[in-house]
Amino acid sequence: MPDSQTIRLATRKSPLALWQATWVAGELTRLGYKTQLVPLVSAGDNDLRPITSTSEVGLFTKRIQQALIEGEADVAVHSLKDLPTIEVPDLHLAAITQREVVEDRLVTAAGWTLDELPPSAVVGTSSRRRAAQLLHRRPDLQILPIRGNVQTRIDQVMRGDFDATLLAAAGLERLEMTDVAATTLSIEVMLPAPGQAALGIETRRDDEFTTEAISHLDHSETRAAVTAERAFLRELSGGCLAPIAALGTVDGQELRLRATVLTPDASIRLDVDVTGPVTEAYQLGIQAAHELRAQGADAIIAAAR
């Protein structure tokens, strides 16, 4: 059994972030550790302007990481898709939790599918990844920026500000929003963001007690899959602004990585599909990036910044 030390978990104050941190705390409690939540406000929570090339990298994560570095907390709980691929020297990604459903869902007041959306329907999303893939399938759609937490974006659709929006299925399920009119988009239509539906849990590198505790929550298959995805993203230096998507899946000892890069208007789409040993997850991500680079990905990403 661990000693009496309390593990403090830093988290944003949004309902989804609090759910995630509470889940991690519950798992640690189940293992016999004492926990305490430390809710914080990130820059992304205060700034509801559309994300652009001038937006700060790590908009939703830097304040949480700062809490660890300055000793306000012992653990940072992130949606892994929000966590920049450039590591902070003092911090360690001690656990990546088992991934849940990875798909995105289309939310409309009428329960429309993507094909049922009226011509020139207005879709709210600030994700260039989502916008570009939507336009690849439905070039007639009008894409407008939308910000706010999950409930705020749903409310804007329900009151008619937008005909639809896109949300991660994992977030809707974690918040038990089963009554929301949403249709799941297939992977073939909407490839997810690198790291989507997994939680990334950081600790300080010099905190052996907390790192050991958090390591029990690590899921090896998910870690391999997202390692490939994040290596791919980092190699292309895509960040959150370029229309980049990737999904790694593990089958036994084999890892498959599907990835795509698009122009914001979806006039060009580059795809790659590679497989290799799970033990070479990082190298597989680099390989996928190099194959897309050979197709012209660098120019697309540079133009999207």
- pLDDT (average), residues 136-156: 95
Catalytic residues: 82
70-89: burial string, b at 16+ Cβ within 10 Å, e else: eeebbbbbbbbbbbbbeebe
What local confidence, expressed as pLDDT, does residue 147 receive? 85
Mean pLDDT, residues 130-145 taken together: 97
The pLDDT score that the predictor gives to residue 303 is: 87
pTM of the predicted structure, to 2 decimals: 0.90
Contact 10/77 with Cβ under 8 angstroms? yes
Q: 23 CB contacts (<8 Å, ≥6 apart)?
A: 174, 199
Q: Kindly indicate the confidence band of residue 61, based on its pLDDT and cuts at 50, 70 and 90.
A: confident
225-270 pLDDT, tens digit per residue, is 999 999 999 999 855 578 999 999 999 999 999 999 999 999 999 9
Q: Can you give the pLDDT at residue 1?
A: 40
Domains of the chain: 6-97+198-218 (3.40.190.10), 104-184 (3.40.190.10), 229-304 (3.30.160.40)
